[in-house]
Amino acid sequence: MLYDAHGEPEGATEAELLAAYAEELAAVVAEYGPDETAEATGLDEATVEAVAAGDVADIRLAEAATLLALLEDAPAEDLAFEVRDHLMMEMVTAILDVDTIAANIDQDLTGQEVQQALEGRARLTLAELASIHALVLERKR
């Protein structure tokens, strides 16, 4: 799952987390092949090719969950919820609110947008997820 894709998440940087997400998702495409992956997920070929190439920064969590659902025994919506839920639980232990997150990540998001993304009401790219996740991990130390 994306939240534990990095073998040693404690202290992982944004770039390391994004690379771990890319590796996990590229493995799905490698296992099924680009054509079968696109057909099974309904994702367009350009998205599948980007994932296969490790270019996942602009991939949305919902798209990533659709890919992971090919390997997991759960619907994509449940997998996306699990990632968001795990991140919110870590935010609580790190004592972080959405405004603090928005002010401390290199993404163009307001606190409200962070909240909406974490609630699943707005898009959340993997670059944004990695930024938020890295900050949460840093603050938990």
**Domain carrying residue 52:** 2-140
| pLDDT given for residue 5 in this prediction | 55
| pLDDT given for residue 127 in this prediction | 96
pLDDT in tens, the chain (141 residues): 565 555 565 678 899 999 999 999 999 999 999 999 999 999 999 999 999 999 999 999 999 999 999 998 889 999 999 999 999 998 998 899 999 999 999 898 999 999 999 999 999 999 999 999 999 988 877
Q: What's the number of domains the chain is made of?
A: 1
Ordered DSSP codes for 66-88: HHHTTTSSS-HHHHHHHHHHHHH
On whether the CB atoms of residues 32 and 70 are closer than 8 A, the answer is yes
Alpha-carbon distance of 31 to 54, in angstroms, equals 15
What phi and psi, each to the nearest 5 degrees, are found at residue 33?
Answer: 85, 150
